[in-house]
Structure 1
């Protein structure tokens, strides 16, 4: 990984790093919000948020408010992973980074009739996160490895589920916002079945939060609603799964509510996870 630039914004308590990383040496913008207090004995919890330019500032400000002492949560490091375009949702880049390989005929038609951007780089992106970005954050802060969360929305939510099903060791808290379970004709469900068979032997304690707006597309609401039931058998093996459906919220308007719930999910102390 090559770091070419760093910008600090002391009045906002955050900084931006420009990096070139992954097998393609692509440019990423890493947005980091500094914790507002001393680290707990175990280190700082960390939240990694995809589509950084869409969610970072809302999440970082919410964390600043909700970690105020004496009654707030422990201070947290918020990391937004964005792209040089600065777009809230850079469709070309995120479509590659957040998806598993798919044939064009297995995908729905786009509203404007255009072809889908290149896809299939999910595992490359997770390698980048695991082998380059996470060590970078650990070099800057003392990190609590038992309180690390990954958040993604839409295609990002798909990636979060793919990460849980294929790399449950990556983080401890997985938050899939409005996940695009439909991708590649529901190929994710085959990963889910493999996960159901493999997870009990791993002896892990993990948490999954799924969020959805009640006014999103009907099939997305139904897909999200089915996941807790599909995963229920793993509760006795250490996987805690919860679903939050937000009334009156659509695919984009649900984001602030999902981010607020993410903080509670990621920062509340859990006695079981603390013993891992």
Structure 2
């Protein structure tokens, strides 16, 4: 069960909800940006964004500008998921939540030589999203279940791929920013193989966006570029894959560009 406590957030239409969730009773901070006025007939499209304290303000402001009428997108509900530390990237918490369990010897050495924090909780975090956070949001707001997006960056991008490959029914739009596909000697590639075999049987229409900055690490740029090719066999099977490369952007500076593209990806109608 989750305990909810609403706090005042210093922007109109924004608030913070504190919950405890999962078997560990871990605390999360949900940063919400919700539109004013009447919801669309089918409800609000929702974007769930990981590393909430890193992306919330940029994404909420971009959404406020890009949903202005008469020419803007439909109003959107932003749910950015952060941690009690308030740090843009809480390495200890995100390392556990966003990664799959792998053998320790398959992990790259960290730049500072320190040991990796506890990892391997991606399945548990997916459960929290599916069984606690998403139902709570649907209870608070009318939501469009045909437009449910998730965005993550770096380890968060890895998690988005893991979510698509293991629970493609959960979201309709998956946006993987600069995904750390190297995790566990490319464990996510093995998940992709199984997904490629199983997906045609599911009769789903899903979209995947991969974003990357051209000045990121060479192996990350190459890995991002491989994904559309590896998923190519599913092009006629209901999976639409697109790659957005941002010239001159590095692993951090790419975030604002990726978030802007995310809105078009999640909200543009066919």
- Please tell me the TM-score bracket, short chain as reference: over 0.9
Instruction: Give the Cα–Cα distance (whole angstroms) in 2 for the partners of residues 86 and 9 of structure 1.
Output: 13
Instruction: Give the Cα–Cα distance (whole angstroms) in 1 for the partners of residues 6 and 260 of structure 2.
Output: 28
Residue of structure 1 in register with 2:215 after alignment: 215
Aligned length: 270
Residue of structure 2 in register with 1:181 after alignment: 181
Instruction: Give the Cα–Cα distance (whole angstroms) in 2 for the partners of residues 36 and 155 of structure 1.
Output: 33
How far has the Cα of 1:4 moved from its partner?
A: 4.2
Instruction: Give the Cα–Cα distance (whole angstroms) in 2 for the partners of residues 223 and 199 of structure 1.
Output: 21
Instruction: Give the Cα–Cα distance (whole angstroms) in 2 for the partners of residues 242 and 35 of structure 1.
Output: 28
Question: Residue 53 of structure 1 contacts residue 87 of structure 1 at CA under 8 Å; is this kept in 2?
Answer: yes
Instruction: Give the Cα–Cα distance (whole angstroms) in 2 for the partners of residues 125 and 107 of structure 1.
Output: 21
Residue of structure 2 in register with 1:30 after alignment: 30
Residue of structure 2 in register with 1:273 after alignment: none
Which sits farther off after the overlay, 171-180 or 33-42?
Answer: 33-42
Residue of structure 2 in register with 1:161 after alignment: 161
TM-score by length of 1: 0.96
Deviant stretches of 4+, over 6 Å: none
Q: 1:37 to 1:4 in 2, by over 3 A?
A: closer
- Secondary structure of 2:72's match? coil
Is 1:232 equivalent to 2:219 in the alignment? no
Residue of structure 2 in register with 1:74 after alignment: 74
Instruction: Give the Cα–Cα distance (whole angstroms) in 1 for the partners of residues 180 and 10 of structure 2.
Output: 37
Instruction: Give the Cα–Cα distance (whole angstroms) in 2 for the partners of residues 82 and 57 of structure 1.
Output: 12
- Secondary structure of 1:187's match? helix
Instruction: Give the Cα–Cα distance (whole angstroms) in 2 for the partners of residues 167 and 93 of structure 1.
Output: 22
Instruction: Give the Cα–Cα distance (whole angstroms) in 2 for the partners of residues 125 and 110 of structure 1.
Output: 23
Instruction: Give the Cα–Cα distance (whole angstroms) in 2 for the partners of residues 217 and 250 of structure 1.
Output: 8
Gaps of 5+ in 1: 271-276
Instruction: Give the Cα–Cα distance (whole angstroms) in 1 for the partners of residues 186 and 2 of structure 2.
Output: 36
**Cα deviation digits, residues 210-255 of structure 1 (max 9, x gap):** 0000000000000000000110111111000000010000000000
How far has the Cα of 1:10 moved from its partner?
A: 6.8
TM-score by length of 2: 0.98
How far has the Cα of 1:104 moved from its partner?
A: 2.2
Is 1:103 equivalent to 2:71 in the alignment? no
**Cα deviation digits, residues 62-120 of structure 1 (max 9, x gap):** 00111011110000000000000000000000000000012221111111110000000
Question: Residue 176 of structure 1 contacts residue 210 of structure 1 at CA under 8 Å; is this kept in 2?
Answer: yes
Q: How does 1:20-99 map to 2 (within 5 A)?
A: 20-99=20-99
How far has the Cα of 1:153 moved from its partner?
A: 0.2
- Secondary structure of 2:3's match? strand
Aligned residues: CA RMSD:
0.9
Instruction: Give the Cα–Cα distance (whole angstroms) in 2 for the partners of residues 120 and 250 of structure 1.
Output: 27
- Secondary structure of 1:219's match? helix
